[in-house]
Amino acid sequence: MNRDTRRTRLLLALLLVTSIGLITLDYRAESDGQRSPLDGLRSFAAAVFGPVEQVAAAIAGPVGDAVHSVSELGDGRGELARLRREKEELTRQLRTSALDRNRAAELDALLRLTGAGRYRVVPAQVIAVGAAQTFSWTVTVDAGTRDGVQPDMTVLNGDGLVGRVKTAGPTTATVLLAIDPNSSVGVRLEGSMEVGFTTGQGLEDLLDLQLLDGQSTVVRGDRLVTFGSQGDTPYVPGVPVGEVRGVRGTPGSQTRTASISPYVDFSALDLVGVVVQPPRKDPRDAVLPPRPRTTPLPTVTVTETVRPGAEQ
């Protein structure tokens, strides 16, 4: 064990002395401007180990590039995931802001209508659509008896009549829509005392109007408001209902029937108001939206120019 250690030390000492000697010879030769005795050994080493170094570089280069590419791929996937998250967040914010804008517009329209008619309402949101409690055309709203909502109260939105409360629970209520075939609403033509009743047509989102006076004149574009019920239940007066789309029957018959296009879009109900206190007096036609103004066509004046020498 000791012999091996001594031999190793002796060998290392000889190698160290030899290395120092060779370095000294090489340094003196370069200082004197002479050829170094180690140049031949260097050329031999370059000839032997040069190809090996090239092969090693050829192998190590692609491997290093692959490792670098893998690391960059990992970074790219992380960046892609981050961009996707940012896109989803921006999309969510855009949808939320659009929904908020729509609801703000609906609330503004509801306030305008209730202000014009002097109706006191409880705002509510439609939370379910479908057959509830055996009624075909109903919606469920998130307001109930705790909010002052009772059966047979008028329901409207910023466009006009939605329906009436059929049943009410503590926190929700079921609203029978005006387009339900079992729904009958007393209405009055704008600007006259002609009255009639509308019934719903279900899927067609239309109302049928039957006038009580067969001699009455009804034309396309006539507008309707609720006539009002006794005790203001289930319908308060003056709520916009819709416009006449077409008339069936001829003047002089016992009854005349017209198709009514309702103001309310029943396929897109969201914010509604339940009338918990009717107006003190009938608003009549004050709640109807203003009619669009027709712009008269411009008058064109044609001036004839007579050239000199032309026949008069």
Quick check: 192 pLDDT over 90? no
144 or 23: whose pLDDT is higher?
A: 144
Q: How far apart are CA 208 and CA 4, in angstroms?
A: 117
CA neighbours within 13 Å on the CB side: how many for 10?
6
The per-residue pLDDT for 272 is: 95
- Output the average pLDDT for the chain: 78
* Highest mean pLDDT out of 15-24, 222-231, 251-260: 222-231
Angle subtended at Cα 302 by Cα 301 and Cα 303, rounded to the nearest 5 degrees: 115
The per-residue pLDDT for 173 is: 96
Give the chain's domains with CATH numbers. 121-277 (2.40.10.340)
* Confidence grade of residue 205 (pLDDT, cut at 50, 70, 90): confident
Q: What is the pLDDT of residues 75-104, one digit of tens each?
A: 566 767 777 777 777 776 666 666 777 878
Quick check: 226 pLDDT over 90? yes
The per-residue pLDDT for 48 is: 54
Q: What is the pLDDT of residues 40-82, one digit of tens each?
A: 655 555 555 556 556 555 665 565 565 555 555 555 667 677 7
Quick check: 141 pLDDT over 80? yes
Q: pTM of the prediction? A: 0.63
Q: How far apart are CA 270 and CA 46, in angstroms?
A: 85
114 or 308: whose pLDDT is higher?
A: 114
Task: Report, as an integer, the average pLDDT of 158-180.
Answer: 95
The per-residue pLDDT for 188 is: 93
Q: How far apart are CA 215 and CA 71, in angstroms?
A: 87
Q: What is the DSSP string of 93-154?
A: HHHHHHHHHHHHHHHHHHHHHHHHHT-EEEEEEEEEES-BTTBSSEEEES--GGGT--TT-E
Range name among 14-23, 39-48, 161-170 with the lowest pLDDT average: 39-48
